[in-house]
Amino acid sequence: MSVNVPTSIDLLAKARLLEERWQPHVVAELNDYQFKVARLKGGFVWHDHPDTDEAFLVLEGQLRIDLPSGAVHLGPGELFVVPAGMQHNPHADEDTLVVLIEPRGVRNTGSAGGERTAEQDRWI
**Residue 112 belongs to a domain:** no
The domain containing residue 44 runs over which residues?
11-103
**Residue 27 belongs to a domain:** yes
**Residue 34 belongs to a domain:** yes
**Residue 108 belongs to a domain:** no
**Residue 49 belongs to a domain:** yes
pLDDT of amino acid 42: 96
- Of 88, 19, 94, 115, whose CA–CA distance to 102 is shortest? 88
pLDDT of amino acid 3: 72
Q: For residue 20, which amino acid is it?
A: E
pLDDT tens, the chain, 124 aa long? 667 788 999 999 999 999 999 999 999 999 999 999 999 999 999 999 999 999 999 999 999 999 999 999 999 999 999 999 999 999 999 999 999 999 999 889 888 888 888 888 899 9
Is 63:90 a contact under the CB 8 Å cutoff?
yes
Backbone angles phi, psi at 16, to 5 degrees: -70, -20
pLDDT of amino acid 2: 65
Strand partners, 33: 30, 103
**Residue 69 belongs to a domain:** yes
pLDDT of amino acid 60: 98
pLDDT of amino acid 117: 87
| Dist. CA 55–CA 22, nearest whole Å | 15
Q: Is the dihedral of CA 18, 15, 94, 69 positive or negative?
A: positive
SS3 state of residue 28: strand
Is 35:101 a contact under the CB 8 Å cutoff?
yes
